Amino acid sequence: WQSKAAVVVIMTFFPMLVNTITGLHATQAMERDLMRSYGASYLQTLVRVRLPNALPFIFNALKINSTLALIGAIVAEFFGTPIVGMGFRISTEIGRMNVEMVWATIAVAAVAGSLFYGLLALAERAATFWHPSYR
């Protein structure tokens, strides 16, 4: 399972990193100047201004990564893993010409991916209710 985890980490690390850094840099100069004029430390500015402004970007990355992780885990199972998962099931059933089971497994994966995405969208809505995109 370590190889599957490595594939998933490699696939999801960079979208998360890029979105988080973009979100942290999305603050306006006026907001940063205001915190500086209050005499706020870097940590206070990070917690009170930068992280709240980065939350929509972070949740966007999480939604992207939830589907990427599922796809990565399934594809990683195609290549000789001893763990019986969806990818193993798909590759085995393709060899047996059991197309119904292949499509059923793909449907279960699609429902699971949609569920993960929906749960993250609900969490985003609850955590960033103040953001202008939800007004």
Q: Chunked in runs of 10, what are the mean pLDDT values of the chain (135 residues)? A: 77 90 87 85 84 88 90 80 76 84 90 92 85 71
- Position 116 scores a pLDDT of 92
Q: How many domains would you assign to the chain?
A: 1
For residue 107, the model assigns a pLDDT of: 93
- Cα gap 118→32, rounded to integer Å: 33
* pTM of this structure: 0.78
Domain range spanning residue 19? 2-134
Residue 80: its pLDDT value, please? 65
d(CA 26, CA 44): 17
- The confidence score (pLDDT) of residue 3 equals 72
Amino acid at position 77, single letter:
E
Contacts of range 94-100, beta carbons closer than 8 Å, 24 or more positions apart: none
CB under 8 Å to 92, separation ≥6 — which residues? none
CA distance 54 to 124: 12
